[in-house]
């Protein structure tokens, strides 16, 4: 390889149209070795005459070195960086992508204990197994219909112009290796293969997008805060914000509840943070592709983590937008942290809480979402979407003995815990609440849910009237 390259460089030095070849010759390609050297050497050996014609040397060298450099970068991170824990499922392997997109080498995703760190341009897939030879059958196929997925993310260093994403696609079902060679698929056909995509987060410390896509809808439908979405604002989400301060880690839970026919009714995303009393929640419903997404979630989806921004534009996500209400004036991807961390992954059924039979007043309560008031985060309208989106507390279900009560359910109503409630995740760390613990309803969530606070720990629940009553008014 070196001799072939040197031959071309020497010819280039004789070519007055290619004086910069001297610079190339002073920087030998020692970083390129092994299979890469053999491949590039074969390219050069076959074409020293062609590449070294007057005026052509530098162009060939530049193309060759760019290709080999990208290939070297793609092979620098191990395909199998390690395993982490998915609570409620078991150990899972991370699988590194080699290519971010065709001819654009991916960065690395690294695993340390229960933390996954994605480097810039890194993309990693959750798998049941990992090998150097990509195989779609080895990818994780989580059946998330009626389930919730939770994790912790730290976006402190992910500023304007960068995107830390965690999303789901049916990679286990994809049999096309794609132009990236690893069976990757998404709604945007980044590697040439289209499939459904559920974006839990595309985010930085200024903006947050959650989006649903069918395999034929790259734009999708979603909610959040950024260039074109204003469900929140900078006073509640961002560095130093009063609800989710993105200079610190916070928890994310996504739930996929079903309707009476078993179809996906919504994707519900809730953000929580230790010390904060105002979680942020989104509910994406009424999307025309729910039937396809129901099937995808039933068959199984692969969690994917990626981090990108350098060499790209994120103004579609975090820019000012046409109305000037977006969070970022300009892009600064070069100042973003080298990596972003995700940790504490867990999966569980959506928790149910049985409540008393509805009184006429409760039965006629509106089920449509009220208008979100981001200027007053304590307003209950912000909480309506939290039902079914997160169960911070997983209930050990049991039988209650009190009869149904006629008192209408309302905000501020005191309730007492009739069963032992074991906390799974909350803003205040791990705990165990005892039977008889008193709490209060912070907010009613349409006709099917409520946000309830018990002894400083709050949780959101989907209501079930088929069970006996675990929560009863005092």
Tens place of pLDDT per residue across the chain (474 aa)? 455 455 555 544 444 333 333 333 333 333 333 333 334 444 444 444 444 454 555 555 555 554 455 444 445 679 999 999 999 999 999 999 999 888 889 999 999 999 999 999 999 999 999 999 999 999 999 999 999 999 999 999 999 999 999 999 999 999 999 999 999 999 999 999 999 999 999 999 999 999 999 999 999 999 999 999 999 999 999 999 999 999 999 999 999 999 999 999 999 999 999 999 999 999 999 999 999 999 999 999 999 999 999 989 999 999 999 999 999 999 999 999 999 999 999 999 998 644 333 333 323 333 333 333 333 333 333 333 343 343 433 333 332 222 333 445 566 677 665 544 443 433 333 345 566 677 777 665 544 556 666 665 566 555 444 333 344 443
Q: Bridge-partner residues for 352, per DSSP?
A: 462
Residue from 87, 80, 182 nearest 137 by CA? 182
Which phi and psi angles does 440 have, rounded to 5°? -145, 150
Sign of torsion over alpha carbons 101, 106, 110, 115: negative
DSSP string, 413-462: -EEEE-S-EEESS-TT-S-EEPTT-EEEEEEEETTTEEEEEETTEEEEEE
Query: Which helix or strand (DSSP H or E) is residue 146 part of?
Result: none
Hey, what are 270's tokens?
A: 């809730």
Q: What's the half-sphere exposure (Cβ side, CA atoms, 13 Å) at 239? A: 12
* Local structure of residue 210 (DSSP, 8 states): E
Question: How many other CB atoms are there within 10 angstroms of residue 381's CB atom?
Answer: 15
Rounded-to-integer distance, Cα 325 and Cα 368, Å:
26
How far is 389 from 350, CA to CA, in rounded Å? 8
Report CA Rg, the chain. 26
| Joined tokens for residue 118 | 């994605």
Residue positions counted in the chain: 474
In contact, 439 and 455? CB cutoff 8 Å = yes
Q: Name the helix (H) or strand (E) containing 315.
A: helix 315-318
Q: At what angle do helices 34-45 and 2-13 cross, to 10 degrees?
A: 50
Q: Is the pTM of this model over 0.85?
A: no
Cβ atoms < 10 Å from Cβ of 22: 11
* pLDDT score, position 448: 53
The helix or strand, by DSSP H or E, that contains position 352, with its residue range, turns out to be strand 352-354
Q: Is 220 helix (H, G, I), strand (E, B) or coil?
A: coil
Residue position matching structure tokens 């309830």 = 452
At residue 458, the pLDDT reads: 61
Contact in structure between 372 and 386 (CB atoms under 8 Å): no
């Amino acid at each position: 390889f070196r001799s072939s390259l040197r031959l071309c460089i020497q010819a280039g030095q004789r070519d007055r149209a290619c004086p910069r070849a001297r610079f190339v010759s002073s920087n030998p390609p020692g970083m390129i070795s092994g299979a890469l050297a053999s491949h590039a050497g074969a390219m050069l050996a076959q074409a020293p005459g062609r590449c070294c014609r007057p005026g052509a040397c530098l162009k060939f060298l530049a193309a060759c070195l760019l290709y080999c450099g990208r290939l070297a970068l793609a092979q620098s991170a191990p395909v199998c960086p390690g395993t982490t824990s998915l609570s409620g499922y078991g150990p899972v392997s991370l699988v590194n992508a080699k290519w971010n997109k065709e001819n654009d080498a991916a960065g690395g995703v690294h695993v340390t204990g229960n933390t996954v760190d994605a480097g810039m341009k890194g993309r990693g897939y959750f798998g049941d197994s990992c090998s150097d030879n990509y195989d779609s059958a080895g990818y994780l196929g989580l059946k998330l219909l009626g389930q919730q997925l939770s994790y912790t993310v730290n976006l402190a260093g992910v500023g304007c112009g960068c995107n830390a994403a965690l999303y789901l696609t049916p990679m286990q079902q994809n049999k096309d290796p794609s132009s990236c060679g690893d069976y990757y698929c998404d709604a945007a056909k980044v590697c040439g293969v289209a499939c459904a995509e559920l974006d839990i987060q595309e985010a930085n410390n200024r903006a947050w997008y959650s989006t649903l896509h069918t395999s034929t809808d790259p734009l999708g439908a979603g909610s959040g805060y950024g260039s074109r979405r204003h469900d929140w604002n900078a006073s509640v989400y961002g560095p130093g914000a009063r609800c989710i301060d993105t200079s610190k880690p916070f928890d994310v839970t996504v739930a996929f509840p079903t309707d009476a026919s078993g179809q996906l009714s919504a994707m519900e995303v809730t953000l929580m943070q230790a010390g904060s009393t105002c979680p942020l929640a989104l509910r994406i419903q009424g999307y025309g592709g729910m039937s396809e997404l129901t099937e995808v979630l039933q068959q199984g989806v692969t969690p994917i983590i990626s981090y990108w921004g350098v060499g790209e534009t994120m103004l579609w996500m975090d820019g000012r937008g046409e109305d000037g209400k977006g969070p970022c004036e300009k892009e600064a991807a070069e100042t973003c942290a080298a990596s972003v961390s995700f940790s504490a992954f867990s999966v569980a059924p959506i928790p149910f809480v049985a409540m008393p039979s509805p009184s006429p007043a409760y039965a006629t309560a509106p089920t449509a979402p009220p208008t979100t008031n981001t200027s007053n985060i304590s307003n209950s309208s912000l909480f309506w979407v939290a039902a079914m989106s997160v169960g911070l507390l997983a209930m050990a279900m049991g039988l209650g003995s009190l009869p149904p009560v006629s008192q209408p359910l309302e905000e501020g109503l005191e309730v007492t815990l009739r069963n032992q409630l074991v906390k799974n995740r909350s803003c205040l760390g791990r705990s165990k609440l005892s039977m008889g613990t008193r709490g209060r309803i912070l907010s009613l969530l349409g006709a099917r849910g409520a946000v309830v606070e018990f002894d400083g720990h709050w949780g959101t629940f989907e209501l079930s009237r088929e069970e006996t009553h675990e929560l009863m008014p005092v």
